[in-house]
């Protein structure tokens, strides 16, 4: 069966520090991968998605970036964090070949910027 | 572009009673896929139920069922025999068969009263 791992679960970082959140998927190949941000009590904001290695689409201009160095690995990064980057970050995957399939989410990372 | 609307930011239901959460969407496509996700306080995103637009029969998963009205572009979720564990944010989501992205509604916070 397929599983998705996202880490760390919680992160506290000072303003101006770098960021690296990692997400890996097991049990499937060539998944679509997604990064979302969620403010407290709010909906999901799509940040990036990827349909293949090295292919990244950005939905929201910001100081964050994403990379997909391997088929089942998706990384969210920043060189210098801002206070506004605080939030809950969710990684997700879906099948690119079977559109009936839903998105499957990781457990999320709670990011606090001090 | 497709949009998803959930007009009820908050709802409450008495334990063991039935509640219906509303979702409407806007699309020009004739074939698509719809999903309801539950996000409890742990903030995990859990798939509740899915519906394929070409299927006329409403999907059912135990106490959860949908009322899919394609002409009205409506996809409501009915929770029967509500339990305390049903308290969560509920998100409606749309997926086009041609695109890679999922469009999420803003969510409805459901409280279950003992």
Residue B11 sits at φ, ψ, to 5 deg, of -140, 155
**In the predicted model, is pLDDT for residue A61 greater than 80?**
no
Mean pLDDT over each residue of chain A, to the nearest integer: 93
Q: Which residues pair with B19 in a beta bridge?
A: B79
Q: What is the mean pLDDT of residues A84-90?
A: 94
Dihedral, B108, B60, A32, A29 alpha carbons, nearest 10: 150
Q: How many helices (H) and strands (E) does chain A have?
A: 0, 11
**In the predicted model, is pLDDT for residue B64 greater than 90?**
yes
SS3 string of A99-110?
CCCCCEECCCEE
Residues of B in contact with A38 (CB under 8 A): 43
**In the predicted model, is pLDDT for residue B91 greater than 90?**
yes
Cβ neighbours for A75, distance < 8 A, ≥ 6 positions apart: A20, A21, A22, A23, A66, A67, A68, A69
pLDDT at A97: 78
Q: How far is A99 from chain B (nearest CA, A)?
A: 5
pLDDT at B49: 97
Q: Which of B84, B95, B81, B82 is nearest to B37 (CA)?
A: B95
pLDDT at B58: 95
Mutation pick from B3, B54, B98, B102 vs chain A, by most beta carbons of A within 10 Å, is B102
Partner residue facing B43 (CB), from A32, A99, A108? A108
d(CA B1, CA A93): 21
What is the bridge-based pairing of β-strands B88-95 and B33-39?
antiparallel
A39 pLDDT tier (thresholds 50, 70, 90): confident
Percent of chain A at pLDDT exceeding 70 = 99
Position with higher pLDDT, B99 vs B84: B84
Position with higher pLDDT, A62 vs B42: B42
Mean pLDDT over each residue of chain B, to the nearest integer: 94
pLDDT at A1: 86
pLDDT at A66: 96
pLDDT at A98: 79
Q: How far is B15 from chain A (nearest CA, A)?
A: 23
Residue ranges of chain B whose CB lies within 8 Å of a chain A CB: 33, 35, 37, 43-45, 47, 50, 52, 89, 91, 93, 95-98, 100-102, 104-107, 109
**In the predicted model, is pLDDT for residue B83 greater than 70?**
yes
Size of interface A-B (CB pairs under 8 A): 53
């Amino acid at each position: 069966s397929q599983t998705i791992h996202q880490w760390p679960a919680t992160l506290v970082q000072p303003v101006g520090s770098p960021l690296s959140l990692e997400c890996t998927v097991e049990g499937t190949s060539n998944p679509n991968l997604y990064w979302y941000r969620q403010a407290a009590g709010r909906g999901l904001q799509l940040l990036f998605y990827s349909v293949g290695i090295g292919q990244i689409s950005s939905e929201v201009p910001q100081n964050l970036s994403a990379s997909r160095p391997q088929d089942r690995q998706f990384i969210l990064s920043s060189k210098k964090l801002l206070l506004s980057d605080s939030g809950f970050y969710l990684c997700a995957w879906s099948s690119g070949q079977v559109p009936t399939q839903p998105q499957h989410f990781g457990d999320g990372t709670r990011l606090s910027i001090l | 572009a497709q949009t998803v609307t959930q007009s009820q930011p908050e709802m409450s239901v008495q334990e063991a009673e039935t509640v219906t959460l509303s979702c409407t969407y806007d699309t020009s496509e004739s074939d698509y896929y719809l999903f309801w996700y539950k996000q409890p306080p742990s903030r995990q995103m859990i798939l509740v139920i899915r519906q394929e637009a070409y299927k006329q029969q409403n999907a059912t998963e135990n106490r959860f069922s949908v009322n899919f009205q394609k002409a009205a572009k409506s996809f409501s979720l009915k929770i029967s025999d509500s339990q305390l564990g049903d308290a969560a944010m509920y998100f409606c989501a749309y997926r086009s068969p041609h695109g890679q992205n999922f469009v999420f509604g803003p969510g409805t916070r459901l409280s279950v009263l003992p």
